Structure 1
Amino acid sequence: MKKLTRRATLGALALAAGVALAGVQSANAQDFPTNTITLVVPFAAGGSTDLVARVIAQKMSDDLGQQIVVENVGGAGGNLGADRVARADPDGYTILMGTVATHALNPLMLKTKPYDPITDFSPVSLLVVVPNVLVVNPQLPVNSVAELIDLLKKSPDQYSYASSGNGTPLHLSGELFKSLAGVEMQHVPYKGAGPALNDVVANQVPIMFDNLPSSSSHIKAGTLKALGVTTKERAPSFPDVPAIGETVSGYETYTWNALFAPKGTPPEVVARLNAAAKKAMADPAVVSRMADFSATIVGSTPEELGEHVKAEMAKWEPIVKDAGVSLD
């Protein structure tokens, strides 16, 4: 009888401890945040994802009452940064600025997958959809997509193009262009769009598929020449730049930016981050900044982002197979 009583007592104590712990966790979630939040950008500084992250981090910090620090973890086409967040404590203090690369393309291309884009993350909000753009150094003797195709066909294997890394949307943009236009270019991957862009401006690499936000200032300044945007329609901020699809039938790519937390992050924390993100995206200064480079604001719910990731993987899978891109 004593042993049974002791077991019952221990069980009751364990139950009480569990209830108390749950109460503490719930209280902590309701008080969130009480410390600095790290927003991991899985690419080098200076690219489109970095630009969007820094704009959003500032506005979200104002609403949350705690600073959001942007940390660039470049490499492996975004996989290093994404994997870091997937393995982080699920408390909302380490979050990811994910993209179509980290949550659709890389998982489809990689033979060895460091994380699952659906099961290893808690979706927070789809922020923006961003056009890509084909840019060249002004010294390259072409002024249109058609002229570039002619040049590449006359001099196969002589030219190269830069991207933000293997498996990124910019890499796939180039490979899809090669496939549909019937041309050859050597791919030069970087750890992010920023370093790649610097080398294209310096004419170390003459061609690049970039996110429109990070190239827009160079296009306006004349240090880069825009030949075409990668979306089906022309970008409102650059109406004179044609869509590549106007010359290369069926061509379309784009990227997007979204916030993700590690799997198991409390729903209350996800909801708080989502509310702050949506408030930031509605801010007039943010709306104006996004419009400068034709980024379409979304500001979704966590559930909508989860469905978006599934839809993106279904959409890009046949494109990745047709482009023949596979990464170790």
Structure 2
Amino acid sequence: MHRTLPRRRLFGQWTALAALGVLSILPVAAQAQAYPSRPIRLVVPFTPGGSTDILARAIGLELGKAWNASVVVENVPGAGGAIGADKVAKAAPDGYTLLMGHIGTLAVNPSLYPKLPYNPLKDFAPVAWVANVPNVLVLHPSTKAANMKEFVAYAKANPGRLNYGSGGNGSAANLATEYLKMRTGISLVHIPYRGTAPAVNDLVAGQTQVLFTGVPAVIAQVRSGQLKALAVSGKARVEALPEVPTVNEALDLKDFEADQWYGVVAPAGTPADIVAKLNQAINAALNSAELKKRLGAEGAVANPTTPEAFGKYIASEIERWKPVITSGRVKVD
């Protein structure tokens, strides 16, 4: 026979359950409130010296100052950024291991690697969209072209004679150059490197002739005259190189755009309070006059926004670069 519990006893059970529910969320709330209580590891999935590394160290410095905490930048290169990204994807979701992701690791790799060990949309929690960085087409000074039109004409007249470097097969520089080839009909030979820095070094040494990479990685060499800049990839000129036209300007195009972009993600499952705390701190740094000036001087444009907006952007970029990879027949080793 079914018996109804006394009202007092039933109320007591619900009270106990409610108390258990409150207690269950207390550790998460306490964790977020105390965060960070130990060093944060910010993984850069590329070699030191490239745009990803430069931006990661700038953000890490600002976070360290804001929280009086230690932010350690760790370079974990390999497989177009997939090795470092996978390491973060499989890390504990506690906010102490983060990834400075970029267009390659978060948007391009899914179309390049048939067995990519991580899923950018499922294995990461978007934290903060840090910046957009236009690519700049730079040449060794010995290359016979004073502007983009001369460069395109020379490359067409001398197919296969110009070598272009990149940070590796499937890297942002590789894709930007393949997109330029597709749009202009020029012929260039790809020389992949294990990272941006060695590609820059060989260009300066004259081992290659062309590089289409992020402004921060080559701006010092452009300013010193070691490299000559012909055009930038964005919709507008770059503050750091105001005399350099866009590809659209230089070639009378309207819709050429091949910027790199960068943002911080955490392992999926990282508590929302910690994600919010990181987002607020990174955005505060990006909105500071000091960091804006520093990024502008490097050719980067700060882009503070919400984790949700950054997540939607990642999804849209995955779809945008699929046809470029297919038409350029971009393959990884």
TM-score (norm 1): 0.90
- The residue that corresponds to 2:155 in the other structure is 152
The separation in 2 between residues aligned to 1:324 and 1:191, in whole angstroms, is 20
Aligned residues: 316
Structure 1 residues 91-110: aligned runs within 5 Å: 91-110=94-113
Q: Does 1:134 pair with 2:127?
A: no
The CA deviation at 1:234 is 2.2
- The residue that corresponds to 1:301 in the other structure is 306
Q: The residue matched to 1:123 in structure 2 has which SS?
A: strand
Instruction: Read off the aligned partner of 1:255 and give its amino acid letter.
Output: Q
- The residue that corresponds to 2:36 in the other structure is 33
The CA deviation string for residues 260-296 of structure 1, in whole angstroms up to 9 with x for no partner, is 0000001111111111101111222111111113322
Structure 1 residues 279-294: aligned runs within 5 Å: 279-294=284-299
1:324 alignment partner, one of 313, 324, 329: 329
- The residue that corresponds to 1:119 in the other structure is 122
Q: The residue matched to 1:40 in structure 2 has which SS?
A: strand
- The residue that corresponds to 2:15 in the other structure is none
Q: The residue matched to 1:71 in structure 2 has which SS?
A: strand
Query: Does the Cα contact within 8 Å between 2:175 and 2:324 map onto a contact in 1?
Result: no
The separation in 2 between residues aligned to 1:22 and 1:91, in whole angstroms, is 15
The alignment's C-alpha RMSD in Å is: 2.2
2:257 alignment partner, one of 252, 256, 270: 252
- The residue that corresponds to 2:221 in the other structure is 218
The separation in 2 between residues aligned to 1:32 and 1:99, in whole angstroms, is 25
The CA deviation at 1:90 is 0.5
The CA deviation at 1:141 is 2.0
- The residue that corresponds to 1:76 in the other structure is 79
- The residue that corresponds to 1:197 in the other structure is 200
Query: Does the Cα contact within 8 Å between 1:111 and 1:327 map onto a contact in 2?
Result: no
- The residue that corresponds to 2:47 in the other structure is 44
Q: The residue matched to 2:265 in structure 1 has which SS?
A: strand
Query: Does the Cα contact within 8 Å between 2:91 and 2:267 map onto a contact in 1?
Result: yes
The CA deviation at 1:303 is 0.9
Quick one: structure 1 residues 204 and 83, their matched pair in 2 at CA, closer, same or farther if it must change by over 3 Å? same
The separation in 1 between residues aligned to 2:252 and 2:139, in whole angstroms, is 17
The separation in 1 between residues aligned to 2:21 and 2:74, in whole angstroms, is 35
The separation in 2 between residues aligned to 1:268 and 1:205, in whole angstroms, is 48
The CA deviation at 1:209 is 0.9
The separation in 1 between residues aligned to 2:155 and 2:310, in whole angstroms, is 39
The separation in 2 between residues aligned to 1:248 and 1:93, in whole angstroms, is 47
The separation in 2 between residues aligned to 1:255 and 1:268, in whole angstroms, is 29
The separation in 2 between residues aligned to 1:242 and 1:16, in whole angstroms, is 64
The CA deviation at 1:18 is 8.9
Q: Structure 2: where are the runs of 5+ without partners?
A: 1-17
TM-score (norm 2): 0.89
